[in-house]
Amino acid sequence: MYVGSSDMEHQLAIIPVMIVMAGFVRGNKGSGRFSTPHVCCPWCNRASGIQPPKIQKGVGTLIKSEKGFSLIEVIIAIALLGIIGVTFLSGLAVAFKSVIIMQERVTAESLAKSQLEYIKNQDYRDEHHQYQKIDIPSELADQGYDIEWPFERETLGDGLQKITVVVSHRDKKILEVEGYKLDR
């Protein structure tokens, strides 16, 4: 290497020589690399296979070896990500809502079945006496679940009643279940 010079000085000193040499060698399929060993400059006296640096023609132009995304590509990518994100979040919202509805329905069904079983275990009552209501667990009562009382009942024959139990959640009717009570 040239005595007393830094590596940057050496690079700057050989640029004109390399540009001239690149013009002769680039004819080889446009590869941009030197195809045969050569001496790159008289100062270092070494063979080099490095590609010569690209010369920037104007302040606003890109160097050909630099690659990047244009503004349009970035905007399109962000728009696509936004559309995909909104679609994904909409799907999650629908799934979450359906889970809440199913939990509400399962809880209401459990309460209605418990009430019907409780009525079936009680003594047979005529139209002048009501069946007792179950105690709703406090965590469900705090969430707004309730069983409408008095229960609707219809006498179908001698010793047979059709009983309808209605479960509501926050004053909205969720489930209506019918069952039969037999006088035994």
pLDDT of residue 159: 84
Residue 39 carries which DSSP code? B
Whether 49 and 87 map to the same domain: the answer is: no
Whether 108 and 45 map to the same domain: the answer is: no
Whether 79 and 49 map to the same domain: the answer is: no
Q: Is residue 69 part of a domain?
A: no
Q: Is residue 42 part of a domain?
A: yes
Domain containing 172: what range?
75-182
pLDDT of residue 152: 85
Whether 47 and 87 map to the same domain: the answer is: no
SS3 162: strand
Q: Is residue 108 part of a domain?
A: yes
Q: Is residue 66 part of a domain?
A: no
Q: How high is the mean pLDDT in each 10-residue block of the chain (184 residues)?
A: 49 51 46 50 53 56 66 95 97 96 95 93 85 92 90 85 92 92 83
Domain count, the chain: 2
Q: Is residue 60 part of a domain?
A: no
d(CA 141, CA 147): 10
pLDDT of residue 91: 96
Whether 174 and 89 map to the same domain: the answer is: yes
Which of 109, 128, 108, 115 minimizes the C-alpha distance to 168? Answer: 108
pLDDT of residue 69: 83
φ, ψ of residue 181 in degrees (nearest 5): -120, 130
